[in-house]
Structure 1
Amino acid sequence: MRRPYTLIAGDFVDTGGMDRANLALALWLAKQGHPVRLVAHRVADVLLGHANVRFVRVPKPANAYLLGEPLLSAAGRAWALRTRAEGGRVVANGGNCPVASANWVHYVHGAHASEPTGGVLRQLKGRVSHRYYVRSERRALRRARVIIANSERTRDDLVAATGVPASRVHVIYLGGDAERFRPASPEARRAARAALGWPESRPVALFVGALGDRRKGFDTLFQAWARLCARADWDVDLKVVGSGAQREAWEREAAARGLGARIQFLGFREDVPLLLSAADVLVSPTRYDAYGLNVHEALCAGLPALVSRSAGVAERYPAALAGLLLDSPDDVDLLARRLEAWRENAAAWAPHVAALSESLRAQTWDTMAEAIVDVVEREG
């Protein structure tokens, strides 16, 4: 019989980022025949279809992760003890559960504090949440036997934030779905544009990210876009994918500045592969991204992606694509110049983007999961 595994995380669902990565690890273990316990708030139906998967549902009061964290930690610790007694392995996420086992880090709270937005109560909640997550993260990572980071940047950040020895941290980059995210043929691109109602010849830039705070850098992109659209020869439109507390404010600002026809807010979308097939470039001037799955997926789809040099995914860019990296996510002038450079050099950069796309698609979710389990089996 295969060794049992208990995975402890908020969600195992296909909504992107860490949730999608957690789902991939759980699915691979289930397909290999391991008894899998998922201690979580949400689990995708595809996992529940496996007879060897057990969902230990943890309540999330008021649908708030902050209120659910203590419950997740308590349930995780209890199931971790039972799993270890059975000779099994345990993998927790970041600060969600302090257990002497493996910890997979998707985000380092001690490395970035988002600027609180909204009313007084929302800002207070943001500060309280950050302090709680930083303390929980430090406690959990110091206790972990082995730590898996999703980039070198994440490893450096968590070592600096928690003081854990670097030798305890292994870097395994995120994988992806090579079938869903792949370069589109000219015919598929035309079909995607027709389905979305986009003009076939009008270039489109895409932003994919939450609009709840300034972390993803949309404010920098907005200012750069306003500057570029003041030029008569700038013929690119911007499509914004994502929701959050600031979305309506940005829509009002775009309308007030006469940019309503040049910036379209699409909200939350489940058809991101289709959007990537139809777009020409992704723009991600993020202030903090431990990795950056949105950029990874855009590259897998064959799109050039402008991203902050500090994002983990930027480590995977070759020198030939350095012109797509942003030294500062706050530099509006630099972003505008990089967008102009993309417009001028897209054809020259295309072979290098294609090579990077092929390299990234070679690392699937399954190869990532297998690499993680190999580390956990040896050291966890």
Structure 2
Amino acid sequence: MKLAFCLFKYFPFGGLQRDFMRIATACRDRGHEVEVFTMKWEEEVPDNFKVNRVNVRALTNHGKCSAFAETVQLEASKRFDAIVGFNKMPGLDLYFAADPCYLTRMKETRGPLSRLGSRFRTYVTLERAVFDSSSKTHILILSEEEKRRYIAAYGTPEERFHVLPPGIDRNRLAPKNASTIRRELREAFGISDEYLVLMVGSGYRTKGLDRSIRAIAALPEALRCKSRLFVIGEGQARPFVKMAKRFGIEKQVRFLGGREDVPQFLLGADLLLHPSYTEAYGMALLEAMAAGLPVLVTDICGYAYHIERANAGLLIPSPFQQETMNKMLVQALSSSDAKQWRHNGLSYVAKTDIFSLPEKAADLIESVARKGTSHA
């Protein structure tokens, strides 16, 4: 089969991008031709992939996204067995729903004036092209809750949704020499009896890095002087460096950028912080459990329920209050429950399917392609 995969931008450390790569690779490994359409590609092109860099001209990001969607629809609609999108746009046979419902989020978090501009209209138009009741796009989604939100917003027929299991890499599982890796990493960064608090994910603002900095700064002195915050992922660090300096903890906060050795940090840390403002899923939460790392996370994250089911950490309740998070961080770092949280996370992962997303997604792509779904 000839399969088109479409996404606005590819860079190696984004959660959506990792899911795209793993699904596309699974399809390629089954013998299908994989052709990618994107505005930006930041890594070497894998074997047997063809990458089309689509040049678009517009003054705004949302204008570029709209122009990209229009161009791809014209170029890809006639010569592929299936068109798979990882961003919302018209003309898709399947859409991998990595992002939360934009319309619902804007109504819940922004005032009416924010919904009058071209940015809002553009993104809602792209979203409606996928989820409108008249569309024929099949939707690959990772949570029942997010499915309900889309149905409430657009009246999407339920039969067009296909709920997938999570899909973390098995290299996130704690190996037999986990204690050795933990010790070596901590020694490499000069960490002895200090608390290593970790944040993993691109987009520092959305992931709640400001909340984490405030919480670290608010720790009682005995805890604060022994706590270090490592931030892994792509983002604009400068405003947060300034923020840490303003709170007097700049020497305790370290930005490590995107890295391939995240599993070592998950094993070496004492706590994963994930106080996101919005998060459809949150793969880092599952990766932390697989490494035996306790988690402190906002309850709005799609995969936070796994932390709650496993009793592998603490959920910050909504509506978010900084003072509540501050107190919960103290509890997470000083509680005798930490050892049990580690054990609970490992036990939960051992008996729960959190790995098969790429295979199940490839199955669905093949099924839709075989049925010859007309483009939406």
TM-score interval w.r.t. the shorter chain? 0.7 to 0.9
* Structure-2 residue corresponding to 1:32: 30
* Structure-2 residue corresponding to 1:222: 213
Kept in 2, the 8 Å contact 1:211–1:243? The answer is yes
* Distance (whole Å) between structure 1 residues aligned to residue 264 and residue 57 of structure 2: 35
Kept in 2, the 8 Å contact 1:284–1:305? The answer is yes
TM-score, structure 2 length as denominator? 0.83
Helix, strand or coil for the counterpart of 1:307? Answer: strand
1:174-225 CA distance string (max 9 Å, x none) = 3122125545611111122233x23132221112244563x32223222222
* Structure-2 residue corresponding to 1:264: 254
* Structure-2 residue corresponding to 1:119: none
* Structure-1 residue corresponding to 2:298: 308
Deviates more, 1:169-178 or 1:55-64: 55-64
* Distance (whole Å) between structure 2 residues aligned to residue 81 and residue 189 of structure 1: 50
Cα 1:272/1:361, change in 2 over 3 Å: farther
* Structure-2 residue corresponding to 1:240: 231
Cα 1:353/1:92, change in 2 over 3 Å: same
Q: Is 1:145 aligned to residue 137 of structure 2?
A: yes
Q: Is 1:286 aligned to residue 314 of structure 2?
A: no
Helix, strand or coil for the counterpart of 2:77? Answer: helix
Match of 2:264 among 267, 274, 280: 274
Match of 2:184 among 182, 186, 191: 191
Segments of structure 2 that go 5 or more residues without pairing to the other structure are none
TM-score, structure 1 length as denominator? 0.82
* Distance (whole Å) between structure 2 residues aligned to residue 261 and residue 44 of structure 1: 31
Helix, strand or coil for the counterpart of 2:171? Answer: coil
* Structure-2 residue corresponding to 1:120: none
Kept in 2, the 8 Å contact 1:308–1:329? The answer is no
* Structure-2 residue corresponding to 1:57: 53
Q: Is 1:341 aligned to residue 331 of structure 2?
A: yes
How big is the shift at 1:13?
Answer: 4.5
Cα 1:223/1:48, change in 2 over 3 Å: closer
* Structure-2 residue corresponding to 1:165: 157
How big is the shift at 1:62?
Answer: 8.0
Helix, strand or coil for the counterpart of 1:106? Answer: coil
1:307-338 CA distance string (max 9 Å, x none) = 22221112333535175222126222322333
Q: Report the AA paired with residue 122 of structure 2.
A: Y
* Distance (whole Å) between structure 2 residues aligned to residue 318 and residue 259 of structure 1: 31
How big is the shift at 1:31?
Answer: 1.0
Q: Report the AA paired with residue 278 of structure 1.
A: G
Cα 1:6/1:221, change in 2 over 3 Å: same
* Distance (whole Å) between structure 2 residues aligned to residue 60 and residue 271 of structure 1: 34
* Distance (whole Å) between structure 2 residues aligned to residue 47 and residue 216 of structure 1: 28
Aligned length: 362
* Structure-1 residue corresponding to 2:2: 4
Identity between Structure 1 and Structure 2 (%): 25
Helix, strand or coil for the counterpart of 2:91? Answer: coil
* Structure-1 residue corresponding to 2:82: 89
Cα 1:164/1:365, change in 2 over 3 Å: closer
* Structure-2 residue corresponding to 1:121: none
Kept in 2, the 8 Å contact 1:302–1:353? The answer is yes
* Distance (whole Å) between structure 1 residues aligned to residue 212 and residue 287 of structure 2: 20
* Distance (whole Å) between structure 2 residues aligned to residue 233 and residue 34 of structure 1: 54
Question: In the TM superposition, what are the counterparts of 1:327-338 in structure 2 within 5 Å?
Answer: 327-328=317-318, 330-338=320-328
Cα 1:59/1:115, change in 2 over 3 Å: farther
* Structure-1 residue corresponding to 2:192: 200
1:25-74 CA distance string (max 9 Å, x none) = 11111111112222222457665421xx3323212548975343233212
Helix, strand or coil for the counterpart of 1:83? Answer: coil
Kept in 1, the 8 Å contact 2:5–2:36? The answer is yes
* Distance (whole Å) between structure 2 residues aligned to residue 94 and residue 249 of structure 1: 28
Kept in 2, the 8 Å contact 1:189–1:277? The answer is yes
Q: Superposition RMSD on alpha carbons, in Å?
A: 3.3
How big is the shift at 1:373?
Answer: 2.8
Higher RCO (CA-CA < 8 Å; seq separation 6+) = 2
Question: In the TM superposition, what are the counterparts of 1:315-326 in structure 2 within 5 Å?
Answer: 315-321=305-311, 323-326=313-316
* Distance (whole Å) between structure 1 residues aligned to residue 233 and residue 285 of structure 2: 14
